[in-house]
Amino acid sequence: MAVIIAGIIFSYLLGSVPTAYLAGYLLKGEDIRKLGSGNVGATNALRVLGKGPGITVLLIDILKGALAVTAAGDFIIGHSNQEFPAVLLRVGCGIAAVAGHNWPVFLGFKGGKGVATTLGVLIGLALRIPGLGLILGLVVLTWAAVFALTKIVSIASVCAGILLPVYLAVFGFPVFWIAAGGIFGFLGVLRHRSNISRFLKGREKRIF
């Protein structure tokens, strides 16, 4: 039990690493929370710091989620264990990583939106759980399609998050996976409430 708790805590702390915040100070000597949209995430890093740093922040935030469910999960339960308690632990580590990004202990529990870290979690789960690769592909395609139509990252992310549990249900995944998808989708919508409000008022910014 102590090892499991340690894995959850590790995943939360891993997710809490404020990549965009650190990049802002290293590259501009400024607090990124006071620049652009004020969000501590890859989209604001892209706007404020440029394409190279923005993409780097994105990749590191994705890596945080992937490592939480692969490295941390493998250390505790082993690479190939697909029994329910093991899967539950991996999902728990993933949720902890996203929570860490959204509410990081290092920034007074005020973080990013969790989109890239959630993607990393899905990638990590797809690498360990058969069948999830299809769901991952559908989520990515959904994001890409909505973004192509709107050029708005937040709305593409919200749509992808909402449809995640729907895809799991349509393709016959157990209730556990549908509920897990619902949690990840809910966390995404929760962090994007202000974006949704601005979008409905026609004031949400396009990425370019």
pLDDT digits (tens, 9 = 90+) for 67-93: 999 987 677 766 555 566 778 889 999
Residues 6+ apart with CB under 8 A from 187: 95, 98, 99, 102, 114, 118, 161
The answer to whether residue 206 is domain-embedded is no
Q: Computed over its alpha carbons, how large is the radius of gyration of the chain? A: 17
For residue 87, tell me if it sits in a domain: yes
- Give the C-alpha separation, 97 to 185, whole Å: 14
In sign, the C-alpha dihedral spanning 13, 16, 19, 22 is negative
pLDDT of 29:
92
- Per the structure, the count of domains in the chain is 1
> Which structural domain range is residue 33 located in?
2-200
pLDDT, tens digit, 9 for 90 and up, residues 161-172: 999 999 999 999
Q: How confident is the model at residue 110 (pLDDT cuts 50, 70, 90)?
A: very high
Q: Is residue 205 part of a domain?
A: no
Say how far apart CA 5 and CA 3 lie, in whole Å: 5
Cα distance between residue 126 and residue 36, in whole Å: 34
Is residue 19 a part of any domain in this protein? yes
- Asked if the structure places residue 98 within a domain, the reply is yes
Dihedral through CA 197, CA 200, CA 204, CA 207, nearest 10? 120
